[in-house]
Amino acid sequence: MEALRYALLDVFTTKPFGGNQLAVFYDDTNLPTETMQTIARELNLSETVFVQTPSDAKKEKRLRIFTPKVELPMAGHPTIGTAYLLADKGILDTKEGVNEWVLEEEVGEIPVKVYREQSRISKVEMTQPLPEFGEVYQDRQNVADLFSLSVEDLDPALPIQTVSTGVPFLFIPICTLDAIKKIQFRMDIWEKHFSRNPEIQHIFTFTTETENISSTIHSRMFAPAMGISEDPATGNASGSLGAYLVEHAVVSPVEQETYFIRSEQGFEMGRPSYIDITIGKEGEQYKEVKIGGTSVIIGSGEICLQTAD
């Protein structure tokens, strides 16, 4: 019987039972892909991470990231949460101030900054690939039906558009906080009009009306293709969200060509989350996409695997 240790974290929150749940198997166990997928399905969290020895000794760790249904090439809250765990447990050494790491994920190298203040990990920040903008989705009635809303609830001043910083999400602007809270996601509409196109399978909706005065955007994300009915905090989509908001002049720079955005998410699920997004541009070119936040370790456990006699 082989026992695999894991930690449970809440990511993008400073309080237990907020943010997005994550399981991290941190002992560098080299498991078959099918076994990792089975374990992720058994735990049934939005994502489960398996930490492995990197192929390049100059990198800190390799991460394999799974939803209950599929392996992801990259993901935000698993990267942030795993880096936090590796630092907090002392699996990777950290010094006071900023620690710069490079993690391997299926999409490639992911730069990470871990901020330590005395004995506390105060923040983890990851750099995402630069944004790729897809075509504008034209059928606004389909989108309104998907959410059980009216077309008038969709912001007419902004496009419905796919953006990717590693994984594509369809971004849908909603006029009011009241409307976004009323969303009832219809699987029949998703299966008919969205499920077969990988560019628009994952649905991210937002409004500029927020619960918290310090937030820029109030968000909700739905990803049935990943086995996630709704996600309380979506780091992978947040870099793309920031790029969308900059591209369509929803936000203004806080300093020359640098934009800071805070997305609040998960409120409708009872798991408030806050994701910090930084977008850097130089003229028309995007130069940097970063997301950041903190985490809370809330538990630990073991999965026991049968081994051959």
Helix axes 235-247, 76-88, angle to 10 degrees: 120
Active site residue 47: yes
Q: Where are the beta strands (DSSP E) in 45-197?
A: 48-52, 61-66, 71-72, 97-105, 108-117, 120-127, 132-136, 161-164, 168-173
149 near 108, Cβ under 8 Å? no
Q: How many Å apart are CA 284 and CA 90, to the nearest integer?
A: 41
Q: Residues 42, 47, 109, 255: which is the catalytic one? A: 47
Q: What's the gap between Cα 37 and its chain centre?
A: 19
Query: Quick one: which of 47, 42, 39 has its CA closest to 10?
Result: 47
Q: How many Å apart are CA 79 and CA 287, to the nearest integer?
A: 21
- What are the residue numbers of the active site? 47
